[in-house]
Structure formats: C-alpha cells, structure tokens
Amino acid sequence: DGHGHAVGDQVLIEVARRLTHAVRAEDLVVRWGGEEFLVIAPSVGDAALDELAARLLREISRTPIAGGLAAVPVTVSIGYGAFPIGGFEGGPLTWERALNLVDMALYTAKSQGRNRAVGIAGLRAATDASTLKRVEADFERAWQEGLVKLAIQPGA
C-alpha cells in the first residue's frame, strides 16, 4: 500500500507468476479479487495439500519483488482446505459454504500474525447444521472449542 498503485500492480503480477510456477500444470490459479488469489488443485490428498500450502508460502516469499526504486519483500497469508470438508453429517458442503470456511481460515492466518497457512483439517465428527452455523458465526471460537480442526504452518 505504501509503494503506490504501479508497484502494487507489479507485485500482483509477480505473485501470480510465482503461484503459477509453484502449482502443477492441471491446477488453476485465479485472481479472486483485490489481492486475493484462489488455487484450485484437483485430486490432491491431505498430506500433499499441506505441502502445497508450504510450497506456496516459500515460493512467494523467497526473494523480494522489484518495485520501482526498491525491492519489496512479500509474504502471504493462506487459507486452504480439501473438498469435501469432512465431518459434516449433512453430506458434502456446497462449494460456496466450503469456500467461505476456507476464507475464514485465511482471516485466521492473518489474525495469527500473517505469513502463514491455515488449513481446515476437518470439522468435529458428526457436525450438524446448527453446529456448522456456530462455526460460521465465530470461526476463531469454534476452533478454540474444537469444533473445527486446523493445520497451521508458519512461513519462513
């Protein structure tokens, strides 16, 4: 923000390039809005998903990005999850609802100090509709109460 729009545009372009470099050919990198990107990585298991998040953290922050007169250090906060998200007794969540939970994990990453990835490892077994609403209403509290399980990876 402090470097101006032109530098911000350069940073977004380079972050998109680094994201694309860090994922497989069949994965999709989409600018979701503003400075948010969405990576869709089909057929990735839980362990590989954790490694993908760690790889993205490393790839984005590995070197500062040239921005006008100075190099700009860049880190990211990542929210991620495998679909379907397990534990909901009502069956698979809609993609909109699952993406909303991943977005909440992103904001948890930001509130925990940024430069980290927070993944949804699952909901508490047999989570019903009312419990899911509690998770969505106060994600941090739901995590602290064990209603949602998170995997947290700090960046370098």
Active site residues: 35
Q: How far, in Å, CA of 101 to CA of 98, rounded?
A: 5
Q: How far, in Å, CA of 118 to CA of 69, rounded?
A: 33
